[in-house]
Structure 1
Amino acid sequence: MSWISAARGARKMRLVGAVALVSAVLTPVATSAPSASADTAPPSIASTSYPKFVESSSMRWRGTHWSATPSFRWTPTTTAGVAKYQVQTWHGKRRGSMVGMDSLGSGYQSTVANYPASRTSVAGHIYSGDQVCRRVRAVNSAGTVGRWSGWKCSYAPLGTEEFEPGYGFDNGVFDYYARNNGASNNPMRSASYLAKGVRVKVRTGPKYGKARILVGSTLLGTVSGYASKSGYKVVTLQKSANLTGAIKVRAISDDSRPFRFVGLWALRATAPLGSSRVVTWRSPSELWPVTDPVESSDTTRPKMTGFSLSPTFPTTRNSNGFYSVKASWRGSDNVKVTGYEVATKHGGSTSYYDGGSGATTSTSMPVIVDWAGSATCHRVRAFDAAGNFSPWTSWKCSHAPLIPISDWTASAGPAVAGKAWTSVRMLDDYYHRPARTRDRYSAKKLRIQYRVGPRWGRAKVYVSGTYFGTINAYSSTVGTKWVTLTATREAHERIRFVPVTTKDVLIGKVFVIPDPAKNLPPAPTRG
């Protein structure tokens, strides 16, 4: 059997067990009876600490998701005789509970993680809108385990990836307005959650009003942000048992007094700690070449002689509704190139993440670029019959544009030159806010089409609070221009145009370009 055939067999075995769901009951483990060993019995855990609520300011965008890394700490009664500590993690997601989150990673890998006796803290990821609980026990060199400490839980606030604003307005990643415009209550709502209530940090002052907060159809209560002086207050509303449904914030004051909150945490009863799913996740292995290498003295690596992916910025969909993009490549070898490996990564709504790879004997392929604001990237390397690989080519990407009007909250601008444009000065659907995208994107660069002429003005461009640049559409001549704006760092949120003149600015197609230096795994499963 060749090495590659063996690798293929191992890959099949890994894929069969890629995801295992096993019911587990997490009851505390009692201390074993002291052994006859001279080894000192393991100490108990004197105390543990874990921040109960992660503040919005501690959350960071990781390229595919929001998370924070609060420290879970413990103090043993004594360190004498301790060989290691074991930390168990319980993960409360949107609609259920699970164990198996690796205590230092971002995947769901191990039920219990082991740490050396010198370690008395871990700082694993907790995702926005989720709850993470941890407990710890000591193990001595004879293998005798101590009692588990009690569970300590930490909650992260719902971010824009979990809390869709509906008809409200998100002023930032964790900062929202809810308004009553007279026609409807404009509720802001999350995806479906398992929660007994919420903790909400409310902005207070003379210009703020009231809102009702619900989980599904169950009213938790009414919260008022009105106060004679500006400030903040924290309110907790909850029932005795978990509820299932969307978390809703429904403004009940008139338009002049919005309800504003800068953090909302979903609270859940800890009863599910006793019966949670155990999830083990492994990524699939690399795809091997299409043919097994032959026994050969050939050690010369092939070369890539050409690679193109075009167009980079398509603007017209084909008859099938896709943007027509084609990838082509060529390689050479001292004997013969027998195939090519083509790798893929995607971006737009996130930073670039790995899309896998495949082997082919072709020298071209069509590329599907479809969703507005998305990006698809490829790179290629050649291999020969002896199993020698060329170096990878550089990544080349093609992007699907954001479409005027349909991908923005603003109303339609005037038709110019037979085309639709997004008006920066138009009032949008979210109470007189500047034009912004309906969806959220990760961007390091933005390539923007706009009209120029004596009747147009200037607008600043942001992704959330990150400034990308200013468009100056004023010109003595009339026409269309393109500009590429680059930020100092990749930002993730809605793209916004903020006018700085009384004259309008008309925006055409916009291409979103994530940071090419980031190549990330897909976001964790949030269901």
Structure 2
Amino acid sequence: MSPRPGRSTRLIALAILGFLGATLLTAAPAAANTAPRITKATISTWLPVKTEGIIQWTPAFSYAARDDQGVTGFQVQRKSAPWSTSPTRRAKMSAAGYVWRADGSSTWLYPSRTSVRGLLDPGAVDCFRVRAKDAAGLTSAWTGWRCAHAPMRAAETWSWCCQPNLITGLHLDGSADGPAVAYVSTRFGTQRSNGAYCAKGVRVRVFKGPGQGKMNVFLGSSKVGTVSAWSRTSGWKWVTVRRSTDACGRVRLVPLTKAPVQMTRNYMLY
């Protein structure tokens, strides 16, 4: 006596499902072979002011990754913008290049090397990004760029020999913040930087208070933004002005009021 058709169909279906289930269970471990994951990529963003010794910075870009197969190497890329001391030599961000092994044999650094260092002069910027490779040859995506910015004090940014609106030794809050401030007021006119830049903006430290004023910031002929130092309370504050695209030329501080804007230092933004 032959089995009924309905029962036969159910048996065949169950057999197929059992086979597929066994196949999926066998293949499951392959899914664990994934690309590495970057777990750390850090550098100090705003470097502190130096007033003694060699005025340079060597910030460390530190990184780490995790992977089920084991990380076998890192690739690190760097791009940088130098300090400009001349209005005819514009500082701009370089193209990205690889950090090589010490012997120059490969851009894939040994997995034991988990940091690289930059070298910055005042006003310079160093940017890094990293990716990792595992034993199976899979690579992670690049991280975003992480940038370190070296500060410029007022006397390093603005001419200290020929402009009356640089006042040395002025510490409005009683601290040793720096040897000078740039004093921007309609009494003295526009203040121009020593160097020229192709950048997006600046981050400036100004003294705020009831007797403080306002200025516009330009890169070349392009306006970057407005800085207001007026406040009901007195003290120091940071102000960032930035464009969406690069502008080129000397940084110009154009006073809008007789009341001054007094700036101790600044960072260039790219």
- Confirm or deny a common fold (TM above 0.5): yes
Q: Secondary structure at the match of 2:195?
A: coil
Match of 1:406 among 147, 156, 160: 156
Q: Does 1:357 align with 2:85?
A: no
Q: Distance in 2 between matches of 1:384 and 1:479?
A: 51
1:314 aligns to what?
A: 47
Aligned match of 2:130:
380
1:283 aligns with none
Would the aligned equivalents of 1:316 and 1:323 in 2 still touch at CA under 8 Å?
A: no
1:445 Cα offset (Å)? 2.8
Distance 2:76 2:155 in 1: 36
How far does the alpha carbon of each residue in 1:346-398 deviate from its partner, in whole angstroms, 9 at most, with x for none? 13511342233333223533523422222111011111234321111111101
- Aligned-partner Cα distance in 2 for 1:383–1:459: 49
Which amino acid is 2:181 matched to? Answer: W
Matches of 1:401 and 1:426 in 2, distance apart? Answer: 26
CA contact (8 A) 1:413 1:426 kept: no
- Aligned partner of residue 421 in structure 1, secondary structure: strand
Unaligned runs of 5+ in 1: 1-297, 515-527
Task: Report 1 or 2 for greater relative contact order, CA contacts < 8 Å, sequence distance ≥ 6.
Answer: 2
Q: Once superposed, what is the RMSD of the aligned Cα atoms?
A: 2.4
* Aligned 8 A contact 1:459 1:498 in 2: yes
Between the two proteins, what is the percent identity of the paired residues? 28
Say if 2:44 is the partner of 1:302. Answer: no
CA contact (8 A) 2:205 2:238 kept: yes
1:471 is the counterpart of 2:227: yes
1:444 CA displacement: 1.3
- Contact 1:329–1:363 (CA<8 Å) still a contact in 2? no
- Quote the Cα distance in structure 2 between the aligned partners of 1:328 and 1:319: 26
Change (3 A) 1:493 1:350: same
Q: 1:304 to 1:402 in 2, by over 3 A?
A: same
Cα distance in 2 between the residues matched to 1:504 and 1:475: 13
Amino acid paired to 1:413: I
Q: Which amino acid aligns with 1:507?
A: M
Which residue does the alignment assign to 2:145? Answer: 395
CA distance 1:356–1:366, shift in 2 (3 Å):
closer
Aligned pairs (5 A) from 1:328-343 = 328-343=62-77
Unaligned runs of 5+ in 2: 1-31, 83-90, 101-107
CA contact (8 A) 2:79 2:93 kept: no
Inter-CA distance 479–440: structure 2 relative to 1 (3 Å threshold): same
Q: Sort the Cα spacing of 1:366 and 1:319 in 2 relative to 1 into closer, same or farther, 3 A.
A: farther
Normalized per residue, the structure richer in helix is: 2
Give TM-score, length-normalised by structure 2.
0.71
Alpha-carbon distance change, 374 to 508 in structure 1, aligned in 2, over 3 angstroms: same
Q: Give the Cα–Cα distance (whole angstroms) in 2 for the partners of residues 462 and 426 of structure 1.
A: 16
SS in 2 for 1:405: helix
